[in-house]
Amino acid sequence: MNLMLRVVSVFLGLVTVGWGQDVSNIRVTPFAVKAPSTGVWPRFRGPRGDGITSEPLPTVWSETTNVAWKTEIPGRGWSSPVIDNNLIWITTAVETPIAPERAAIVRRDKITDKGMADQMKLSGTISLYAVAVDAKGTIVRQVLLFQIDEPVPVHNLNSNASPTPALAHGRVYCHFGTNGTACVDAETGDVLWRRQYSLNHGVGPGSSPVVFDNLVILVCDGVDAQFVVALDGATGDEVWKTNRPPMKGNEGDLHKAFSTPTLIEFDGQPQLIAPCAQWFVAYNPRTGEEIWRVRHGDGFSNVPVAVVNHDTAFLCTGYMQPQLWAVRLGSKGDITESNVIWRIKKSVPNMPSPILVRDHLIFVSDQGVVSLISTTTGQLQGQRRIGGNYSASPLLANDKVYFSSREGNITVLMPDAELTEIAVNALDGQIMASPGVWGTTLILRTDSALYGVRDTSK
């Protein structure tokens, strides 16, 4: 694999304006950790994990316009904000410089892919925190969860605090991959339990936890092992653990993945859809039993989340040549030959997740090309280059789509055939985290600050 390819292996009919979210004929129901409300954004991509809200958010802002508050966040992390009725929660890693002699040992012994050595960030001791911010942007709580004396390297595009927390049952579930998982009492800030599964992520952690009933489900797709595990939300005890399907080949770096699972209910039965290297897989979230699998080829380092509409799941294959596949639900076992409806290759993202607008998908490539396709046929309905580079997943709010670039620009488009541009808004710093929503306030995280963006004229 040449250097350029190694760098990118980090992971991590016409339509009309004004589409509503008509779900009258959908057989699949996305699970919400809590009933969606204006004060709840409880996990990665919101209550249903799909990045969709009906809230009327602002479309125009800057560092000096429609920013209700801006709060500097200590440390470094790419986790997205999650919100209950009172507080915004994020995670962060406070890092100390690494001693030169230690750095030489880490580069020699801890970087499995030597071709990526120059793209890896090394740190001394790191302290991993859960941080709570109130509605005025004030930091009200910093909870130390783990201190790691000899952390493993992470890719420059990743961080030691990339997985997004999950909120449920009055608790905050914070996951840091191999560095540990912890449960925090959302009211008191007390740490209720800690748990750790050692794993070689290769380039750092990425998958975020999801909650089903009383279970906290973690996807652990590393270089050395690949499995899904469910913990008791109250105690942290392991309830079930299921290995991924067999991987072909012996190169562990081609077996890793970073996608967050999607929880749905299909025909009255729950499913946990969890893409991984070489396979798309769905499990029974109560037991970990596999329901179906699809062999998608040699793709790996999957990051995008699966989205589901009607009876079809839409999934991305990962690096090196990403494809987007449509898979019909309703069957069991290996359904590769029977249930793949279509697949496309052009401008498919490696990192940002797709978003659904009725019977169309919108997605942005890592290089800033936005595509609109039919969910029925996979045919392209519209395309627009918006520039920049993208890791964050888009947000659909009140029939407008928000795309956040690594360069700190947020482009707002209409989901029509022309992908009409509404505005381009710039903030200081880099954006890797996907946005959150708190009522009519847009919560954005850059590499240094958390923003509350809303119409300040009201």
β-pairing, 324-328 vs 340-344, is antiparallel
Range with lowest mean pLDDT among 49-58, 78-87, 108-117, 261-270: 108-117
CATH classification of 3-453 is 3.30.70.260, yes or no? Answer: no
Domain boundaries, the chain: 3-453
Run of H or E residues at 233: none
Residues 6+ apart with CB under 8 A from 4: none
> Cα separation of 292 and 330, whole Å?
9
Place of tokens 């950790």: 33
SS3 400: strand
SS3 205: coil
Please count the residues of the chain.
458
Residue 333 pLDDT greater than 90, yes or no: yes
> Cα separation of 354 and 269, whole Å?
24
Q: What is the pLDDT of residues 289-320, one digit of tens each?
A: 999 999 999 999 999 999 999 899 999 999 99
Q: What is the pLDDT of residues 121-154, one digit of tens each?
A: 888 999 999 999 999 999 999 999 999 998 988 9
> Cα separation of 350 and 304, whole Å?
7
Other C-beta atoms lying within 10 Å of the C-beta of residue 284: 16
Question: Which pTM value belongs to this model?
Answer: 0.92
Run of H or E residues at 99: none
Residue 27 pLDDT greater than 90, yes or no: no
Q: What is the four-CA torsion angle of 442, 446, 450, 453, rounded to 10 degrees? A: -30
Is the separation of the CB atoms in 232 and 217 below 8 Å?
A: no
